[in-house]
Amino acid sequence: MNINPRRTPLIAGNWKMNLDHLQAIAFVQKLAWNLKDAGHDFAAVEVAVFPPFTDLRSVQTLVSADKLPLAFGAQDVSAQDSGAYTGEISGAFLAQLECQYVIIGHSERRTLHNESDEQVAAKVTAALKHNLVPLICVGESAEDLAVHGPSAVPVAQLRAALAGVTNAADIVVAYEPVWAIGSGQAATPEQAEQVAAALRGVLADTLGQDVADKTRILYGGSVKSGNIAAFMREPNVDGALVGGASLDIPEFSSIVRYQKHVDL
Ligand code: PGA
């Protein structure tokens, strides 16, 4: 099933702080074999992994040597290009490692590292400058949801994140309710659709209908093989950002192959 032929679904695995570079090599090799063995059509459903920074060179070498049809990216990027920023990683370095994507504004960075909407916007601009596709995460806490209702906070976060984005930009948006991340309690497909539709409205408002139509909006938060198909049936959900379940090869492969294992 591909509800929206203009948008190729994307299943993205956010490893967070898991798997060192040696584990990453074994993992990516097995994942690619597993999906190839199963006859996965990578052009029909794109697969991307987001390892820790220290794994990226190994993943790049493997993907390029074995011509694996997997995309990969980083979990964060500096807003700066170079200079006295101890501990930061430049988008230029990520581009050199052939990263296609970079996650920006994940809720763990917003909460644990106090990243502001302004910093998120600056990072989005930096990613685009280096031809990296920013995977912009937005999402509300349980308290936000109770106080502001659905979509208010994600909509405001997306507007802020797009401050420096032009309508020529290639971006991906991920709606990840904070209360659903790692909790085992996913949003309902209807909740995900409601917010994804509102986010598409923001894209149309700020970047134009054309960009809104072609930009992929992912859902993230306790995605598993058992619930992915229901999310993918929603017209505004174009994929998933998967955390915990992306570390289990059979489970992640099954999520990637949602079109095959569940009746749609
Ligand atoms: P989860 O994490 O799938 O473990 O809920 C999602 C994420 O944080 O991107």
pLDDT of residue 109: 98
- Amino acid at the residue 37: D
CATH number at residue 80: 3.20.20.70
Has residue 27 been placed in a domain?
A: yes
Domain of 241 in residue numbering reads as 10-260
Has residue 63 been placed in a domain?
A: yes
Cβ of 242 closer than 6 Å to ligand 1, yes or no, is yes
pLDDT of residue 96: 98
Looking at the structure of the chain, the number of domains it has is 1
Cβ of 103 closer than 6 Å to ligand 1, yes or no, is no
Has residue 181 been placed in a domain?
A: yes
pLDDT of residue 1: 47
pLDDT of residue 5: 63
Question: Any idea what the Cα angle at residue 94 is, between residues 228 and 207, rounded to 5°?
Answer: 60
Has residue 1 been placed in a domain?
A: no
Has residue 4 been placed in a domain?
A: no
Has residue 3 been placed in a domain?
A: no
Predicted confidence pLDDT, tens digits, the chain (264 residues): 456 667 999 999 999 999 999 999 999 999 999 999 999 999 999 999 999 999 999 999 999 999 999 999 999 999 999 999 999 999 999 999 999 999 999 999 999 999 999 999 999 999 999 999 999 999 999 999 999 999 999 999 999 999 999 988 999 999 999 999 999 999 999 999 999 999 999 999 999 999 999 999 999 999 999 999 999 999 999 999 999 999 999 999 999 999 987 544
Cβ of 224 closer than 6 Å to ligand 1, yes or no, is no
Ligand 1, pocket-test mutation among 17, 106, 185, 241, most atoms within 8 A of CB: 241
pTM of the full predicted structure? 0.96
DSSP class of 50: E
pLDDT of residue 168: 83
pLDDT of residue 3: 61
Supply the residues annotated as catalytic: 106, 176
Helical packing angle, 152-161 and 189-207, nearest 10°: 30
232, 13 contact by CB (below 8 A): no
Q: With CA atoms as reference, report the closest residue to 249 among 9, 41, 3, 47.
A: 47
Has residue 188 been placed in a domain?
A: yes
Has residue 241 been placed in a domain?
A: yes
